[in-house]
Amino acid sequence: MKFARLLAVVRKELVQLARDRLTFAMIVGIPTLQLLLFGFAINLDIRHLPAAVLDQANTAHSRELVAELASSQVLDFRYRLNAPQQIDEQMRRGTINAAIVIPPDFETRLARPDRPAWQVVVDGSDQSVQAAARQLGSFPLATLGYGSAESPPGAQAVPGVEIVNLYNPQRRAPVNTVPGLIGVILAMTMVIFTAMAIVRERERGNMEMLIATPLSPFELTIGKVLPYIGIGLIQVTLILLLGEFVFGVPVRGSILDVYLAALVYIGAMLTLGVFISTLANSQFQAMQMAFFTFLPQILLSGFMFPYDGMPRPAQWLAEVFPLTHFLRLIRGIMLREAHLGEMWHEIAALAVFITVMLAIALRRFRKTLD
Amino acid sequence: MNAHDNGAVITARGLTKRFGDLVAVDGLDLDVRRAEVHGFLGPNGSGKSTTIRMLCGLLAPSAGDIRVLGHPLPRDAETVKRSIGYMTQKFSLYDDLSVHENLEFLAAVHGLRGAQARRRLDAMLERYRLGDLRRQLAGTMSGGQKQRLALAGAVMHEPELLLLDEPTSAVDPQSRRDFWDALFDLAEAGTTLLVSTHYMDEAERCHRLAILDHGRLVADGSPQELMANLPGSTLQVQCAETRRVQRALAAETHVLGVAQIGSSLRVLTDRRDGIDWLRERVRAIDASALVETVAANLEDVFVAATRAHGQSTEDAT
């Protein structure tokens, strides 16, 4: 490997990048758009679920219960119903996600707490709605006058359990999503950019000319990939700034640790891109393959669904993905003030990924056209 | 180094390339001597590009031996790559880089640096009339300009051997002429050139010519030799009903080719006594026809070589 040749490729790539408006727009556009989408639109906090009330008791206590539930903002009571069948109707039509049923003998049930005093009917077809409504069961109805000695309403709920949310007390989604988005956005852009950039040389016929020169495929690949490390770090900076100023997501740990973790993770994504480039014959194929690696990562890494809730085989698979390890790193550093040294095993996992990918890619490098 | 010293820049023996069941190049023997312009003539799909790609180390041959500049290929491909230039059939520099940036990149890739690189770059811009275009993006240039840029890029590092794969397929006649002048300038300066083409006029200008058909070498020699040694004869037929005569003659086994040139027919036969034989045949069709012998040209050589080969394979199957 010769440094001058490597440098020539890097320079050429930078000039081409600066001229390629589409790629340039993607570098800035994708992170911004994704961050705003995930931050604002996709709100994983369940609030203001459309709901209905069927109050067959209509006593002071029942009205108090409804008012109490309404003030929690989880449910948004839009309908007052008169008959149980109406719940079914409304729910099928999709106008409500939940309904509160207070039976005529509510007062009697309150006095004899061996039977549930009231009922929450939930649209079980949406998991997140289900989870939110289940929490209603343990809703502490303080004003109804139940001390800890008595069982609260809501049948199986454990009394007196208070859920303390340590790192996200207001249960605001952006706090979890912004650090995760750094990983997701890099997983998307880095792999696509590098795989496409390398395949482009083959597709446009530049490779045929380059093979007849002393430039080695290794020099070409490394030279083409190096600028993307810088681009990845620019994206990280952009997301951190937007996160801080738009969503108020702080970096609690060391900023240096954030960048170091990102650097290792970018390395993993770039080697994945290089590996894909050795498989793909066209830029379109490279893009498809990049998406193929992107989807399972976003689904299984713990970004969308909690890692601990997944079945074992899915967890084993998730361990292979760089995004899984980076999520643990970045959430640890940004939210729990963890040090990189405490999470060295996650860095080690990424290093193993890089080594394996690079080894496979190097074996697959084509020295000739056939 | 023997082959190198006695003037052979390329020596290939039994060169073969298979792609699955397809034999693209079939047992090719080739010798290219120093400072010659060696032409490669053949129809599309005759194996010209594949051969050139093997000769510059882009493809590994399925069988056969290659020595280029005294080095065996593909073993010493990396060494050889420093001393050869390759101009691809399709423009393969970067469309989104300027003339200057493209040449700068190639200079660096070939290990030219600093003042040496700048001098060489300026010389190339000057020699190939690219000075005024230095800031222009390669993708926006005309066919002729792109071709000059590609040539400048291919000779940036002053290669001993330059391989060109149908370099003039996308340019106008004036640019073609200029381009060939540039090639002879290079040959005069000691560069060996191997040029593939399917233009007869270009083939005729080469010092030596190899004709390929279906991956086989069917003729090899200087254009003059090839024309002089043409087996059979070339005849001109003047007659009234040219179309009808042409159709009738095309069906004859001894006629290798009939082409209408204006109001006469040019007939290529594989018989030494062509003129007497043809007179007899033509009179049977059109009594007023006049038959006379004309000098063979390179197209006749090409038709004779590719046709004879085509028939022999048909006989074999």
pLDDT-derived band at A366, boundaries 50, 70, 90: low
B90 contacts A12? CB cut-off 8 A: no
- Are A230 and A270 in contact by the 8 Å Cβ rule? The answer is no
Cα A209 to Cα A222: distance, rounded to the nearest angstrom: 18
Nearest CA in chain A to B52: A212
Nearest CA in chain B to A223: B109
pLDDT-derived band at A342, boundaries 50, 70, 90: confident
Q: Is the ipTM of this complex over 0.90?
A: no
What would the mean pLDDT of A230-256 be, rounded to a whole number? 88
Q: What's the gap in Å between the CA of B54 and the closest CA on chain A?
A: 10
Q: What's the gap in Å between the CA of A33 and the closest CA on chain B?
A: 28
Task: Output the average pLDDT for chain B.
Answer: 86
What would the mean pLDDT of B204-233 be, rounded to a whole number? 87
pLDDT winner (highest mean) among A142-151, A345-354, B201-210:
A345-354
Q: What's the DSSP call for residue A160? A: T
Kindly report, residue by residue over A57-103, the tens digit of the pLDDT: 888 888 888 888 788 777 888 888 888 888 888 877 778 878 888 88
Choose among B19, B92, B113: nearest Cβ to A206.
B92
pLDDT score recorded for residue B308: 64
- Answer whether residue A148 shows pLDDT above 70: no
Which two structure tokens, joined as six digits, stand for B85?
Answer: 């230039």
Cα A174 to Cα A162: distance, rounded to the nearest angstrom: 23
Nearest CA in chain B to A211: B58
What would the mean pLDDT of B272-288 be, rounded to a whole number? 78
What would the mean pLDDT of B136-144 be, rounded to a whole number? 91
pLDDT score recorded for residue B187: 92
- Answer whether residue A129 shows pLDDT above 70: no
User: How distant, in Å, are the alpha carbons of B198, B268, B296, B303 from that of B231?
Assistant: 22, 10, 10, 12
- Answer whether residue B175 shows pLDDT above 50: yes
pLDDT-derived band at A230, boundaries 50, 70, 90: very high
pTM: 0.77
Cα A196 to Cα A81: distance, rounded to the nearest angstrom: 58
Cis previous bond, B72, omega within 30: no
**What is the edge-to-edge ordering of all strands in the sheet holding B233-238?**
B255-261, B264-269, B233-238, B290-293
Q: What's the gap in Å between the CA of B14 and the closest CA on chain A?
A: 20
pLDDT score recorded for residue B194: 94
**What is the edge-to-edge ordering of all strands in the sheet holding A98-102?**
A75-80, A49-55, A98-102, A119-122
On the CB side of B228, CA atoms within 13 Å amount to 5
pLDDT score recorded for residue B292: 84
| Inter-axis angle of helices A255-279 and A322-336, nearest 10 | 170
Q: What's the DSSP call for residue A223? A: H
* CA distance from start to end of chain B: 43
Cα A327 to Cα A77: distance, rounded to the nearest angstrom: 37
User: How distant, in Å, are the alpha carbons of B40, B64, B162, B289, B317 from that of B212?
Assistant: 7, 17, 19, 35, 20
Kindly report, residue by residue over B146-165, the tens digit of the pLDDT: 999 999 999 999 999 999 99
Amino acid sitting at position B14: G
- Answer whether residue B7 shows pLDDT above 60: yes
A17 Cβ under 8 Å from any chain B Cβ: no
Q: Which domains does chain B have, with CATH numbers?
A: 8-227 (3.40.50.300), 231-295 (3.30.70.100)
- Answer whether residue A28 shows pLDDT above 60: yes
Beta carbons within 8 Å of A93's beta carbon, 6+ residues apart:
none
pLDDT-derived band at A364, boundaries 50, 70, 90: confident
- Answer whether residue A141 shows pLDDT above 60: no
Choose among B60, B95, B111: nearest Cβ to A370.
B60
Please report which residue ranges of A50-101 form alpha helices under DSSP H.
60-71, 84-93
For strands B208-213 and B37-41, give the pairing: parallel
Which two structure tokens, joined as six digits, stand for A129?
Answer: 């709605």
pLDDT score recorded for residue A180: 86
Q: Which domains does chain A have, with CATH numbers?
A: 49-166 (3.40.1710), 173-364 (no CATH)
Closest CA to A253 of A184, A167, A324, A181: A167
pLDDT-derived band at A252, boundaries 50, 70, 90: confident
Indicate the length of chain B as a whole number: 317
Which two structure tokens, joined as six digits, stand for A244?
Answer: 């801080």
- Answer whether residue A138 shows pLDDT above 70: no
Beta carbons within 8 Å of A85's beta carbon, 6+ residues apart:
none
Q: B interface toward A at CB cutoff 8 Å?
A: 19, 53, 56-60, 74, 77-78, 81-82, 84-86, 88, 90-97, 101, 105-106, 108-111, 113, 153
- Worst-scoring range by mean pLDDT, A101-110, A132-141, B95-104? A132-141
What would the mean pLDDT of B126-140 be, rounded to a whole number? 92
**What is the DSSP secondary-structure string of chain B?**
-HHHHTTEEEEEEEEEEEETTEEEEEEEEEEEETT-EEEEE--TTSSHHHHHHHHTTSS--SEEEEEETTEEETTTHHHHHTTEEEE-SS--S-TTSBHHHHHHHHHHHTT--HHHHHHHHHHHHHHTT-GGGTTSBGGGS-HHHHHHHHHHHHHTT--SEEEEESTTTTS-HHHHHHHHHHHHHHHHTT-EEEEEE--HHHHHHSSEEEEEETTEEEEEE-HHHHHHT-SSEEEEEE-S-HHHHHHHHHT-TTEEEEEEETTEEEEEES-TTHHHHHHHHHHHH-TT-EEEE----HHHHHHHHHHHHHHHHHHH-
pLDDT-derived band at B316, boundaries 50, 70, 90: very low
A212 contacts B58? CB cut-off 8 A: yes
B88 contacts A209? CB cut-off 8 A: yes
Amino acid sitting at position B30: L
- Answer whether residue A164 shows pLDDT above 50: no
pLDDT winner (highest mean) among A28-32, B4-8, B84-88:
B84-88
pLDDT-derived band at A256, boundaries 50, 70, 90: very high
A222 Cβ under 8 Å from any chain B Cβ: no
- Answer whether residue A334 shows pLDDT above 90: no
Percent of chain B scoring above 70 in pLDDT: 95
pLDDT-derived band at B4, boundaries 50, 70, 90: very low
Choose among A8, A206, A369: nearest Cβ to B53.
A369
- Answer whether residue B277 shows pLDDT above 90: no
- Answer whether residue B66 shows pLDDT above 60: yes
pLDDT-derived band at B96, boundaries 50, 70, 90: very high
Three-state DSSP state, A140: coil
* Number of Cβ atoms within 10 Å of the Cβ of A50: 17
Three-state DSSP state, A167: coil
- Answer whether residue A283 shows pLDDT above 60: yes
Three-state DSSP state, A307: helix
- Answer whether residue A153 shows pLDDT above 70: no
**What is the edge-to-edge ordering of all strands in the sheet holding B192-197?**
B84-87, B161-165, B192-197, B37-41, B208-213, B216-221
Residue B23 pairs with which residues in a beta bridge? B18
- Worst-scoring range by mean pLDDT, A135-149, A328-342, B77-91? A135-149
Which two structure tokens, joined as six digits, stand for B215?
Answer: 């991956």
Q: What's the DSSP call for residue A37? A: I
Q: Which residue has the higher pLDDT, A99 or A151?
A: A99
pLDDT-derived band at B168, boundaries 50, 70, 90: confident
